[in-house]
Amino acid sequence: MSESTTRDPEQLRLAERKREEENLRRMATVVRDSNDAITIQDFEGRITAWNHGAELMYGYSEAEALLMNIERLTAPEKVAEQKDFIRRLVAGEDITSFETQRVTKDGRVIDVWMTVTKLMDDAGKPIGLASTERDITALKREERARQNLEEQLRASQKMEAIGSLAGGVAHDFNNLLSVILSYTSFAMESLREGDPLLADLLEVKNAGERAAVLTRQLLAFSRKQVLQPSVLDINGVTAGLEKMLRRILGEDVELVQELAPELGLVMADQGQIEQVLMNLVVNARDAMPMGGKLTIGTANIELDEEYSERHLAVKPGSYVQLAVSDTGHGMDEQTQKRIFEPFFTTKEKDKGTGLGLAMVYGIVKQSGGDIWVYSELGQGTTFKVYLPRDRSTGARSATVSPVVAGRATGTETVLIVEDEESLRKVIRRVLVAAGYTVMTAKDGDEALQICARHTEELHLVLTDVVMPRMSGRVLVQELAKTRPTVKVVYMSGYTDAAISHHGILDAGTHFLAKPFTSTGLLQKVREVLDIGIIRVAGEREPAAEDDAEKREQPLDKAAHRPLSPDVLARLRKAVISARYNDIVKIVETIRVKEPDLATDLRRMLDLFDYDGMRELLSQ
């Protein structure tokens, strides 16, 4: 055998060893310079190797790290988990990758994804761990943001679905309630004073009125209300309600107002914004049964793209913020997720309907704004309402004409178009009894046929908005081709896109909200026939101004003198506490003997004029 042949195996081994050493040097360079943290530790947690990526991620130099125990990098709440992990790994459990949290030199807590390898000595005995660690904090933040947006989207879709359902239910109930309330009034009017049936019928009417309040609350949640927007100063609205709010809160709750100077203006319905504030305050009061502090604050806020990305429904821009904070018992996360759902309540039975915050949500949304809740158990709650700042110099809107007392009879010809037969009969009965000539139609097609046969003048069309085959708006457009001067009143349980934009009535539109009473129906019909169409807020015919002046005249403070001390005391207490349902019940009791006073009180109540009612009852 030649010498060269005997050297070949040795040369091969040397070459193989050289390649392995070269590979090890290369791998060492990769490990040393990797941006991922690569560390080695023994089973006592002592760090024995530390690369450049670990220096970058954690902030400790190699020299510092080699004097440390791995627990120094471990988040306090993860120490037990770390020890359990090492125990399971030594016991032979197959664990390769997991997520944990580490603490950097400057105190930041970061999310880390770790890939772990168990190290063995020459005898195959475990001696330590090698781990590759990657900072996934940014990825986790993005994931949480995405999950948050998805949750917001699901919640928004859920609220939209519930709102559509609530609006539809309210519409159907309003038709039924209009019939119930009207026939109850017919029956009461046919009885003599002192008839024992009057008390029973009054209870029926009171129940109907309370049901009407519930449907109005549902409509507020579903964003189907008729709004009368104007340019508002939220500071002025808040200051104007201060006395009432202090009475609502009671002496054991401190009220603090932190109102920003030079606050921007918003376009909103003042009555609705007052309702928002009162509901938030009442909710805060109920959260502080042992007393506390309630803070109402306002501010000019700029919401940027970043905020909008974290809050799905919010558009970037300039807003006015209205914040209501309390020091009450707070809410857990699950409660916060459902707090705006209708009929959801954490209060005791008979202590609330679960519609207060649902109304707030609907009003704010219909006003183009957003509302968010921030709360922790035992730390109180803050509701933040954001309303878009108004930059216009003036406001144009359709006007819902004021209901005024006056002549309610007439001899004009009225066409009723209503698909609900029972309600159609009620309306016809009321108008005929008031002297009007009345024609009825169950839908738009029949209405057009009647008008084609009717050769004399038609003064007013009273039509439902939502009907099969042909909507009220389409009917009116068709009628306008042959009867351009006919006046129109739309009636519905809620506003529809056909006659409004986000609840703001189209200019020149007259609207009668269901459920309505006989009195309300007659007043609306007479009002439109006498006044004509109001095209722009503030541009009224002289007759309207005269009636408005009458409406604004203060009530005689002696008007309540016929009331018994007990009734007067109960009414005062309910007004001071702003308990709408209780006030309605007392007022309807008063109506039996003092119908004029009851009508005036009810009008003030429907305008949420609690200050005016307190002033009236204070003498």
Q: For residue range 15-30, list pLDDT tens digits in order.
A: 677 676 666 666 666 5
DSSP 381-447: EEEEEEEEBP--SS------PPP--S------EEEEE-S-HHHHHHHHHHHHHTT-EEEEESSHHHH
Evaluate if residue 487 carries a pLDDT over 70. yes
Closest C-alpha among 313, 318, 241, 315 to residue 282: 241
What is the distance between the alpha carbons of residues 514 and 169, in angstroms, rounded to a whole number? 13
What is the distance between the alpha carbons of residues 368 and 320, in angstroms, rounded to a whole number? 12
pLDDT of 369 reads 85
Is residue 578 very low, low, confident or very high in pLDDT (cuts 50, 70, 90)? low
Helix axes 242-249, 610-617, angle to 10 degrees: 80
Give the C-alpha distances (Å, rounded to integers) separating 572 from 453, 601, 613: 56, 12, 8
Evaluate if residue 460 carries a pLDDT over 90. yes
What is the distance between the alpha carbons of residues 403 and 547, in angstroms, rounded to a whole number? 9
Mean pLDDT score across all residues of the chain: 76
188 vs 94, more confident: 188
What is the distance between the alpha carbons of residues 581 and 260, in angstroms, rounded to a whole number? 34
Helix axes 356-366, 197-221, angle to 10 degrees: 50
Is residue 534 very low, low, confident or very high in pLDDT (cuts 50, 70, 90)? very low
pLDDT of 458 reads 92
Q: Does domain 413-538 have CATH number 3.40.50.2300?
A: yes
Render pLDDT for 170-202 as a digit per residue (tens, 0 to 9). 667 777 888 888 888 888 888 887 788 888 888
What is the distance between the alpha carbons of residues 291 and 277, in angstroms, rounded to a whole number? 19
Percent with pLDDT over 70 in the chain? 71
Ranges of each domain in the chain: 25-135, 230-388, 413-538, 565-617
586 and 202 Cβ atoms separated by less than 8 Å: no
Closest C-alpha among 276, 297, 283 to residue 369: 276
What is the distance between the alpha carbons of residues 578 and 613, in angstroms, rounded to a whole number? 10
Report the range of poorest mean pLDDT among 234-248, 309-323, 365-379.
309-323
What is the distance between the alpha carbons of residues 434 and 427, in angstroms, rounded to a whole number? 11
Is residue 214 very low, low, confident or very high in pLDDT (cuts 50, 70, 90)? low
270 and 237 Cβ atoms separated by less than 8 Å: yes
11 vs 400, more confident: 11
471 and 193 Cβ atoms separated by less than 8 Å: no
Is residue 242 very low, low, confident or very high in pLDDT (cuts 50, 70, 90)? confident
What is the distance between the alpha carbons of residues 73 and 70, in angstroms, rounded to a whole number? 6
Give the C-alpha distances (Å, rounded to integers) separating 410 from 92, 296, 369: 96, 50, 44
What is the distance between the alpha carbons of residues 341 and 221, in angstroms, rounded to a whole number? 9
Evaluate if residue 613 carries a pLDDT over 80. no
Evaluate if residue 350 carries a pLDDT over 60. no
Evaluate if residue 540 carries a pLDDT over 60. no
355 and 217 Cβ atoms separated by less than 8 Å: yes
Report the range of poorest mean pLDDT among 142-156, 247-261, 400-414, 481-495.
400-414
Closest C-alpha among 422, 425, 478, 420 to residue 448: 478
Evaluate if residue 426 carries a pLDDT over 50. yes
What is the distance between the alpha carbons of residues 58 and 66, in angstroms, rounded to a whole number? 13
What is the distance between the alpha carbons of residues 353 and 215, in angstroms, rounded to a whole number? 12
Fold of the domain built from segment(s) 230-388: Heat Shock Protein 90 (3.30.565)
With b meaning 16 or more CB within 10 Å and e meaning fewer, what string describes 554-587? ebeeebbeebeeebbebbbebbbbbebeebbbbb
Evaluate if residue 537 carries a pLDDT over 60. no
pLDDT of 22 reads 64
Verdict on whether the full-model pTM lies above 0.75: no
Report the range of poorest mean pLDDT among 421-425, 560-564, 607-611.
607-611
Average pLDDT over every residue of 127-146: 84
Is residue 449 very low, low, confident or very high in pLDDT (cuts 50, 70, 90)? very high
Is residue 446 very low, low, confident or very high in pLDDT (cuts 50, 70, 90)? very high
Is residue 415 very low, low, confident or very high in pLDDT (cuts 50, 70, 90)? very high
Q: What is the CA radius of gyration of the chain?
A: 36
Render pLDDT for 299-312 as a digit per residue (tens, 0 to 9). 998 887 766 666 66
Is residue 416 very low, low, confident or very high in pLDDT (cuts 50, 70, 90)? very high
Distance of CA 451 to the CA centre of its chain: 44
135 and 56 Cβ atoms separated by less than 8 Å: no
Bin 608: left if φ > 0, else alpha if -120 < ψ < 50, else beta: left
pLDDT of 577 reads 59
202 and 235 Cβ atoms separated by less than 8 Å: no
Specify the DSSP class assigned to residue 554. P
What is the distance between the alpha carbons of residues 64 and 500, in angstroms, rounded to a whole number? 71
Fold of the domain built from segment(s) 25-135: Beta-Lactamase (3.30.450)
Give me the amino acid identity at 406: G
Terminus-to-terminus CA distance in the chain, angstroms? 132
pLDDT of 544 reads 35
